[in-house]
Each structure stands twice: as C-alpha cells, then as structure tokens.
Amino acid sequence: MSFGHRLHTALAERGPLCAGVDPHSALLQEWGLSDDVAGLERFALTAVEALAPVVSVVKPQSAFFERFGSRGVAVLERVVAEAKAAGALVLLDVKRGDIGSTSAAYADAYLDPASPLGSDAVTVSPFLGFGSLDPFVDAARRHGGGLFVLALTSNKEGPEVQAAVSADGDTVAGTVLGHLRRLNADTDPLGSFGAVVGATIGATEEDLAFGGPVLAPGFGAQGGTVADLRRLFGSAAAVLPSSSREVLRRGPSVEAMRAEAHRLNDELRA
C-alpha cells in the first residue's frame, strides 16, 4: 500500500495533526531533565507514549538525536519503532539532499523497512536539482514510502532561492511543485510525494494543487493559525499542520500532551 493511501486513511481516522518530537535542550530543561542521553531518552519516549496512539503522523527531528552521537541515534531508532507500533505513521525530518550513490544510501537508510531508521516518509531538499532526488523517489516507490520536498519554507532566507525565477519564467518553488505534480499524476486517493510549505509564509501565488500532501510546519507556538491554513492551503489535496512546542510543553504529563493533541485536532477538523 502506498504512503499516500496510508496517509489518507490515517487522516480520516486520526485527524490532520502532525506531532513533532524535537528534544532540544530548552525543552529538556522545561521538563526538568538533564541535557544528555538519559534525558533525551526519557523525553522522546514519553512524547511517543503520549502522542503516537492518537495522531496520524509523528515527526522526529533527527538533528536533536544526532547531537548525542551513536547513543542518540539509538534512541531515535526506538522512537521510530515504538511510534510505528502505536499505529502512527513516522515522518523522519532529516532534510537530506545529495547526488548519486550518496543520495541512494540516504534513501536506503530512511525508507528501507529493513533499516533500523526505516520510516514511512522523509523530508528532503531539492536544491541540488530535482533530479538529484531520483534515488529517493525510486526507494519511496519500491518500499511504499513517501517524500516531503522543501518548496516554500518559512525561514526569512528562503525566498532568496525559492522565489528566484529561472529562464523559463517559473520560480524555483514553482518548478519543485511542478515536479511533484508529475510524480503524483493519476494517483488515488492521494499522492505519496508531498511538499513542505511553512504555515507562516503569509501568502503565495504558487499552485498548491499538486496531488500530494503538504507538510505545514509552524502551526501553533510558532504563529501559524487555523485561519492561515485555510487561506494558504485551500487548493491542497491534504494538509498536515505540524506542531511540536505547542504539545511538548504540556509534558512531561502524558495525559496533558495527549489532551492538547486532541484539542488541536478538534480545532483543525472544525
């Protein structure tokens, strides 16, 4: 079953909220945990216990695990496995992008179910040229996985590249969305190749009807509202508003984090 099909089912059953698991040092401190592997493990696995049974997608940010080296990556492997076991789809936020055999190795690491980090989908960067993502596209098709490709990010530096216009008159972001539209052609009910579009970008003239899902980081504590989502993504096939701090700051209480996830899902559904 394709990632797009699994995601379509999950959204109908669990709602659109994507719960980020971002164990950065400030949040560990807020929870009263030490900024070390023991604190990381307690934080991340508690978040998974609270959120993976109730949200459609759990999105661990790999960097916050990698900063502790191999022991941190071992915790990330447990996060991936336990989130899947609880019924959530796992979107591993790594934003990788390279060429040739290196790109293929990244794809195998994150999309092959035989890998300890094998996830349902992964974030990738197309800014070495969209064709550099071909190994990821091939691996996603082979393993029933998905991609979320950076297109319109909310960081202030993003437009320097993403709004640049090529010789054919398309913006870089528009070119990325065009490639995704072709990859998702004739897929039902939802394509497996998504775009990352920040919930706080304000406005865009790009066509977001490309047949795949939109990952919309920045919802909640970072300023993105339900009104922003409606205004920006009315033409999108499916939208995953992503929130981490809004939910994780309710911890370390499992019940409080789960209640906040339910509240946000209800708000998004309404």
CATH of the domain at 225: 3.20.20.70
| Cα dihedral 251, 256, 262, 265 sign | negative
Distance CA 70, CA 86 (A): 24
Total domains present in the chain:
1
Is 95 designated active site?
yes
- Enclosing domain of residue 49: 3-269
Q: Helices 226-233 and 254-269 meet at what angle, rounded to 10?
A: 40
- Which has the minimum average pLDDT: 14-18, 25-29, 113-117, 236-240? 236-240
**Lowest mean pLDDT across 6-20, 93-107, 116-130, 223-237:** 223-237
* pLDDT of 31 higher than 90: yes
Stretch 65-84: mean pLDDT: 98
pLDDT above 80 (res 222): no
Q: Tell me which of 59, 84, 95, 156 is the catalytic residue.
A: 95
Q: Report, as an integer, the average pLDDT of 66-72.
A: 98
Burial-class residue 241 by CB neighbours within 10 Å (0-12, 13-18, 19+): buried
Is residue 179 within 8 A of residue 201, CB to CB? The reply is: no
pLDDT at residue 168 tops 90 = no
Please state, for a pLDDT cut of 70, what percent of the chain lies above it.
Answer: 99
